[in-house]
A = this chain, B = another copy of it.
Amino acid sequence: MVSLPLIKVTLNEVLITKKNDITIKEISKLSGTSKSTVSRVLSGTGYVSTEKRQAIEKVIQETNYRPNMIARSLQSKQTKTLAIILPDVSNPYFIGLIEEIERVSEGYGYTLILINTMSTGADKVKASDDPEIKALHTVQEKQVDGAIIIGGEIDHVKVSSQYLKTLNQLNKHIPIVIIGQKIADCDVIFVQRHINTGMRLIVQHILSLGYRKIGFLGGKPGVQVTEQRLAEFKRLADMYTNYSDNNVLLNDYYLKDGYQGIEQLLDQSDLDAVVAINDRVALGAIRRLHELGKIVPNDIAIGSADQFPDSDYYIPSITTIDQHNNSLGKIAVEQLIRSFNSQPLLTVQSDLPDLVIRESCGENK
């Protein structure tokens, strides 16, 4: 099959003068002063005569000079850069967080390095090939001022000891914030959600509507968020319904997991309501049910424990929990900044998760 030229790239003949940027030395020459004086003008500290200041500013203007942050960082030992490490940028949960972290960092004058660990195609042969450990190495090498880690290895119930060792080692040199549940033997700063509250809200809502045959769908086994939500689900289900392990199916967090999982779950158990781990899984399930001729919520109710964007536009719209995830991003950055300034970290207060009642669980049964 011949593929036609679709993507056009303009061949440009422009010679790119690589990094021949103007330096502070040249500014001083052009303005008839010294490096020191230019530096003083740049930083706005120390004494500079109005005369020289204006001359220097004029030259800076004309030459489009901008200080070289690399040189500055080498001297000052700070890069004004934060790193964010996460396993999957395309996950809506992370996207909101990235956006928020970027926004807040920018406000404090920090630039963001993005490391997507799932992106690595490398096989996990040597420990140094582990993309998550590699990410920590990058953080160290690039001399970032602080790092935020979300999900991935540290989110597992059992964290690899090699990873934990590297993490603790790194944390001696640069402050690290983890957005996730606290783990033992790890002295980094944790910013965590109250997982249980959200799960309780959605289960109680479903119970209040009269459903008593409730299942649990999705989430990767061995991951903290999954296991904690499941534990809370079990606790409540045990209390108020006829709970059985057949009511639970764990696989993963994606659309396809809801899509494939719902069928299997209904095969192994007779249910009238299902709590999905998040809106994506819920959507997958709803879609599959639709194809099987079952209407949500009339034939079966689907609730979700974690709101993702857009789910209010689905048909049916999804009854879910707003975990106020994005606020975690702001807090994470702020704790990092406090840490830079040797300010004590605060125990932050925030709104509780909210139940968002929409269509997918229906009205009273």
Contacts and interface: CB of A to CB of B under 8 A. Distances in A.
B116 A114 contact: no
Contact of A70 (B74, B192, B193, B283): B74
Interface in A86-124: 89-90, 95-96, 98-99, 102-103, 106-107, 111-116, 119-121
A119 B138 contact: no
A293 interface: no
Interface stretch (A10-18, A49-57, A205-213, A240-248): A10-18
B90 A99 contact: yes
A131 to B, nearest CB: 9
Interface residues of A, number: 100
A319 interface: no
Contacts of A113: 81, 111-114
Interface stretch (A147-155, A222-230, A261-269, A345-353): A345-353
Contact of A194 (B6, B95, B313): B6
Nearest to A351: B3
A351 to B, nearest CB: 6
Contacts of A328: 7
A309 interface: yes
A255 interface: yes
A9 B91 CA distance: 24
Interface stretch (A32-40, A181-189, A231-239, A298-306): A181-189
Given A6-B350, A10-B182, A16-B174, A70 B73 contact: yes
Contacts of A350: 3, 5-7
Contacts of A99: 89-90, 116, 119
A107 to B, nearest CB: 7
Contact of A313 (B7, B197, B283, B327): B283
A287 interface: yes
A346 B283 CA distance: 42
Contacts of A16: 171-175, 339
Given A14-B187, A21-B140, 6 more contacts: A3-B351, A9-B331, A11-B347, A71-B74, A95-B95, A99-B116
16 contacts: A3-B351, A6-B349, A6-B350, A14-B187, A17-B172, A20-B173, A102-B115, A106-B120, A107-B121, A111-B113, A111-B115, A113-B114, A259-B313, A287-B317, A290-B315, A314-B314
